[in-house]
Amino acid sequence: MVEDKRQPIFSIRNVSKAFGDSKILRDVSFEVYPQEILAILGPSGCGKSILLKMMIGLLTPDSGEILFEGNPVRTMSAAASIELRRRVGMVFQYGALFDSMSVRDNALYGLREHYADKLSEQEKEDRVRNSLAVVGLAGTEDLLPSSLSGGMKKRAGIARTIACRPEVVLYDEPTMGLDPINTTRIGHLVRALAREMDITSVMVTHDMKLAFEAADRVIVIDEGLVLGQGTPHDIEHHSDPRVRGFIEGRDPEWTDEDERLYGVTPV
């Protein structure tokens, strides 16, 4: 893998995190570079979503450091933390829409929080209409989330995030619970937003199809460890049997003798 010479936006350095006796992340290190789409791939419960929350300061590492443009997130002032969350948007796993608010008001929420005195009401409304149109939800402004399909809720969550014009978007399991057609649609949307709005994207997922089709670079995490990172091609041809086992959907400890005795390879 060729070393990237660019200055990273985020640097995750030797980060570990535990909850009680459960060690979630163990000495994790990687970089996030400008205008790339980085997929963090791994099974459920391996610490992917926790990484995103630490990147925007919602959780703190037990050890190690997370840097945003060279500045430690851990020691940021309150004002700097607010600025970080304005520049780095997050799309939550289930959209995190407010059920009692219309699609329009959900999309306005971040603008009212971060741009209360910086944009006029008309400018905010224009941004909302534009963002909903970009994700294919024009005309849904007055609907409640309960009337949206799962895929539409995901896209409404993305619209709320991009209305604030972030430089970085963190996607937490953006295709969780979606059918293959909507999964493909979300993957295309992530790439289109990255290209057309110069957004740096980090998405955590266990969806290998999404990771390989949408990402420029993939990191594989399991049992709290970074097992491999590189281009999708690098990961598909990785030498670590644990990476290959995850990609191929099989247990790397499963032997030819197990295959002979039981006849099937477990997933």
**Domain formed by 10-236, architecture:** 3-Layer(aba) Sandwich (3.40)
What pLDDT, on the 0 to 100 scale, is given for residue 95? 63
Query: Digits of tens for pLDDT over the chain (267 positions)?
Result: 555 577 999 999 999 999 988 899 999 999 999 999 999 998 877 889 999 999 999 999 999 999 999 999 999 999 999 999 999 999 987 667 889 999 999 999 989 888 888 889 999 999 999 999 999 999 999 999 999 998 899 999 999 999 999 999 999 999 888 888 888 989 999 999 999 999 999 999 888 889 999 999 999 998 889 999 999 999 988 888 888 888 777 555 545 555 555 555 544
Concatenating the DSSP letter of every residue in 70-130 gives TEESTT--HHHHHHHHHHEEEE-TT----TTS-HHHHHHHHHHHH-TTTS-HHHHHHHHHH
What pLDDT, on the 0 to 100 scale, is given for residue 178? 86
The H or E element containing residue 200 is strand 200-205
CA separation for the pair 42, 44 (Å, rounded): 7
- Collapsed DSSP state (helix, strand, coil) of residue 91: strand
**CA dist 83 → 78, 79, 169, 170 (Å):** 9, 6, 14, 15
Q: Write out the two tokens for 98.
A: 């407010």
What pLDDT, on the 0 to 100 scale, is given for residue 267? 47
What pLDDT, on the 0 to 100 scale, is given for residue 2? 53
Q: Where are the domains of the chain?
A: 10-236, 237-267
pTM of the model: 0.87
192 — phi, psi (to 5°)? -65, -40
